[in-house]
């Protein structure tokens, strides 16, 4: 194109010179020299009339641009190839730009006006070098700032994904689109937006770091806000609307009603009991809901799904009555019982006390598990309050009906220790039959402070029925009664006055204890621990003891060591007295002599006591 224009200019100049030659008349040499314009000669051109120069300059200004380097001008797309766009900027030649620089604008066509930067007026081949990308970069910040200040909508090309969002080309600037600003609803597939051209709003500019943040969500919210106002103004309780499941949580479902969100609580999703809302609905599902309630500003809307269906209790068969057997599925277990779904949406409670005839209550989990299919008997039925109580134990005979024949007083049995308290042990004879062994009936000889010292939960014990209260459903048992009472034979062996040899087991403030055998432990009072020489017995010291008290009922045995030699002394006194009397009879001493002998013996005894 440049060569063609240069050729045209050369041809026009040559023609003008030929024409000038024709027009120059033949003059006298002297006259020619006098009229010769030396200025034109020195300049090498013919002077042009000033008016023509002004006209020429005007045409140049109107039709050609000042192609200064690094200047942004507006050009026009005059031709498109598979790879390039030909741009006319009213210069001597057109410029060529790669279509890669227009990737953000796939709809580029001939006639579109674009901004370009004049990189080089002419390269080595005389080509005008342009750049659209550089021009956009130069102009981009002005446009971005203007769009931000005026809150204008801009168009951008989503280039790729990045951490936390997307990279968007806006006016040639790479802007950040946060994932939370793509749409009003959560995005699960970010890749679907890559390569798309979308509209955005510039929400933040950091001039220091040249960062731009854009939002597509802001545009959607603006439209939704208008819809929201219209929807809210028409809301009424009981109104049925169609919505889309926007989010699912453990406590309910958020439904988009077209710009307004409402919550369907988990208890309002289904008449049946459910563990999680995803058992009923799924994301993006269209559902019908009814408005149950909302606050004054209608910003919190409570919705319901199950209310659109007839209540299952209303459809419950009239044939079901108290005493009937029903089957159901365990849906919930609590400490106090289990809820059984008899039909969909209709539940009955089996209290833990109705799971077994046993009076020893346990947890409901000891009998049933969630998901179990069970059979039960209807105990109560209230259709108005929609309540039903059920029982399992009623499916088996009451074990107390023939209790007198199975467990008569005096009969012996084996049972399992289920629990114990401070005062006794509960023993299960069979399912539904529990008996109590008082702590005093555990052992004949051992002094037990707490049942745990004698037995453990789960142990098998042999028991004897002591008392039976059919009406009160109470069974009194004994364990020691299953063995012979060793105190019956010990009553003779350790009768008062008998003497036994043993060692001091322990010494306490008031005395000491001695063990005659594994059953008999006797107490020795402090004053009865004195030896003949006046010292006291010590721990581990062996000696003879006389039983001074034996009480079988209270299992009390008291012994004395001092009584051993004291009794001997008494015998010696009596013997001395007899001997003195005999000697007196023989010698017939005076009364004074006899008194002196007795006084001497008495002084000896008193000295021994000290």
Q: Do 166 and 182 lie in a common domain?
A: yes
DSSP for 18-57?
HHHHHHPPP--HHHHHHH--HHHHHHTS----HHHHHHHH
Q: What is the mean pLDDT of residues 257-276?
A: 85
Q: Do 243 and 213 lie in a common domain?
A: no
Higher-scoring residue by pLDDT: 428, 299: 428
Higher-scoring residue by pLDDT: 209, 254: 254
Predicted confidence band of residue 5 (pLDDT cuts 50, 70, 90): very low
Cβ contact 148:202 at 8 Å: yes
pLDDT cut 90: percent of the chain above it: 10
Q: How far is CA 278 from the centre of its chain?
A: 17
Q: Do 284 and 332 lie in a common domain?
A: no
Strands, E assignment, 217-318: 240-248, 252-256, 261-265, 286-294, 301-304
| Strand partners of residue 484 | none
Cβ contact 141:160 at 8 Å: no
For 296-332, the three-class secondary structure string (H helix, E strand, C coil) is CCCCCEEEECHHHCCCHHHHCCCCCCCCCEEEEEEEE
| Strand partners of residue 388 | 381
Q: Do 467 and 499 lie in a common domain?
A: no
Rounded Cα distance between 277 and 301, Å, is 18
Q: Do 317 and 385 lie in a common domain?
A: yes
Range name among 37-51, 140-154, 158-172, 339-353 with the lowest pLDDT average: 37-51
Q: Do 384 and 324 lie in a common domain?
A: yes
- Res 459 pLDDT > 60: yes
Higher-scoring residue by pLDDT: 362, 372: 372
Q: Give the CATH number for residue 551.
A: 2.40.50.140
Q: Do 278 and 329 lie in a common domain?
A: no
Q: Do 132 and 171 lie in a common domain?
A: no
- Res 30 pLDDT > 50: yes
Q: State which of 478, 496, 512 marks the end of a domain.
A: 478
- Domains in the chain, number: 6
In a domain, 22, yes or no: no
- Res 21 pLDDT > 50: no
Most confident of 59-68, 171-180, 419-428: 419-428
In a domain, 264, yes or no: yes
- Res 13 pLDDT > 50: no
- 586: part of which helix (H) or strand (E)? helix 562-587
Q: State which of 395, 418, 444 marks the end of a domain.
A: 395
Cβ contact 328:346 at 8 Å: no
Predicted confidence band of residue 24 (pLDDT cuts 50, 70, 90): very low
Smallest CA-to-CA distance from 276 within 304, 300, 246, 252 is with 252
In a domain, 321, yes or no: yes
Higher-scoring residue by pLDDT: 588, 366: 366
Query: Residue 207 sits in which domain range?
Result: 154-221
Q: Do 316 and 391 lie in a common domain?
A: yes
In a domain, 417, yes or no: yes
In a domain, 589, yes or no: no
Q: What is the mean pLDDT of residues 408-419?
A: 90
pLDDT attached to residue 133 = 79
In a domain, 424, yes or no: yes
Range name among 473-477, 501-505, 566-570 with the lowest pLDDT average: 566-570
Range name among 216-220, 418-422, 466-470, 524-528 with the lowest pLDDT average: 216-220
Q: Do 289 and 346 lie in a common domain?
A: no
In a domain, 15, yes or no: no
∠ CA(353), CA(355), CA(359), 5° rounding?
45
Q: Do 250 and 297 lie in a common domain?
A: yes
pLDDT attached to residue 582 = 63
pLDDT attached to residue 23 = 46
Q: Do 282 and 299 lie in a common domain?
A: yes
In a domain, 550, yes or no: yes
Q: State which of 443, 478, 513 marks the end of a domain.
A: 478
């Amino acid at each position: 194109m440049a060569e063609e224009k240069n050729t045209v200019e050369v041809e026009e100049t040559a023609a003008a010179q030929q024409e000038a030659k024709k027009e120059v008349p033949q003059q006298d040499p002297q006259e020619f020299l006098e009229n010769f314009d030396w200025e034109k000669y020195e300049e090498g051109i013919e002077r042009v009339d000033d008016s023509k120069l002004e006209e020429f300059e005007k045409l140049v200004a109107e039709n050609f641009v000042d192609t200064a380097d690094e200047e942004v001008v507006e050009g026009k797309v005059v031709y498109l190839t598979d790879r390039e766009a030909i741009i006319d900027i009213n210069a001597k030649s057109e410029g060529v730009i790669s279509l890669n620089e227009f990737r953000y604008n796939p709809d580029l066509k001939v006639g579109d006006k674009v901004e370009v930067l004049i990189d080089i007026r002419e390269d080595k081949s005389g080509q005008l070098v342009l750049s659209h990308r550089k021009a956009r970069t130069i102009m981009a910040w002005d446009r971005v700032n203007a769009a931000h200040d005026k809150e204008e909508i801009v168009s951008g090309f989503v280039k790729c994904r990045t951490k936390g969002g997307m990279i968007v080309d806006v006016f040639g600037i790479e802007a950040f689109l946060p994932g939370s600003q793509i749409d009003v609803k959560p995005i699960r597939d970010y890749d679907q937006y890559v390569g798309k051209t979308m509209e955005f709003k510039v929400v933040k500019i950091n001039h220091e770091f040249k960062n731009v943040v854009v939002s597509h969500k802001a545009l959607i919210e603006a439209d939704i806000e208008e819809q929201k106002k219209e929807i809210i103004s028409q809301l009424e309780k009981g109104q049925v609307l169609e919505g889309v499941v926007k989010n699912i949580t453990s406590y309910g479902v958020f439904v988009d009603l077209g710009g307004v969100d409402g919550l369907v609580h988990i208890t309002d999703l289904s008449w049946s009991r459910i563990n999680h809302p995803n058992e009923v609905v799924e994301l993006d599902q269209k559902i019908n809901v009814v408005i149950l309630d909302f606050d004054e500003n209608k910003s919190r809307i409570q919705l319901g799904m199950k209310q659109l269906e007839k209540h299952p209790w209303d459809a419950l068969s009239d044939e079901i009555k108290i005493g009937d057997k029903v089957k159901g599925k365990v849906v919930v277990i609590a400490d106090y019982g289990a809820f059984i779904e008899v039909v969909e949406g209709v539940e009955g409670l089996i209290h833990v006390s109705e799971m077994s005839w046993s009076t020893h209550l346990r947890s409901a989990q000891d009998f049933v598990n969630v998901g179990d299919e069970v059979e039960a008997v209807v105990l109560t039925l209230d259709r108005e309050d929609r309540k039903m109580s059920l029982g399992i134990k009623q499916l088996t005979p009451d074990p107390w009906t023939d209790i007198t024949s199975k467990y008569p007083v005096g009969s012996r049995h084996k049972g399992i220790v289920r629990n114990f308290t401070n005062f006794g042990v509960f023993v299960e004879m069979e399912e539904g039959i529990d008996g109590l062994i008082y702590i005093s009936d555990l052992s004949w000889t051992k002094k037990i402070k707490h049942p745990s010292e004698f037995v453990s939960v789960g142990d098998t014990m042999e028991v004897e029925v002591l008392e039976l209260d059919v009406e009160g459903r109470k069974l009194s048992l004994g364990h020691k009664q299953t063995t012979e009472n060793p105190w019956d034979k010990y009553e003779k062996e350790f009768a008062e006055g008998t003497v036994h040899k043993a060692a001091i087991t322990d010494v306490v403030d008031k005395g000491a204890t001695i063990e005659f055998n594994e059953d008999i432990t006797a107490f020795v009072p402090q004053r009865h621990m004195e030896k003949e020489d006046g010292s006291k017995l010590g721990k581990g010291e062996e000696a003879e003891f006389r039983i001074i008290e034996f009480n079988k009922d209270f299992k009390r045995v008291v012994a004395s060591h001092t009584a051993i030699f004291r009794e001997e002394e008494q015998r010696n006194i009596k013997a001395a007295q007899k001997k003195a009397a005999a000697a007196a009879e023989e010698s017939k001493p005076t009364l004074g002599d006899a008194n002196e002998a007795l006084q001497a013996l008495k002084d000896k005894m008193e000295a021994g006591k000290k």
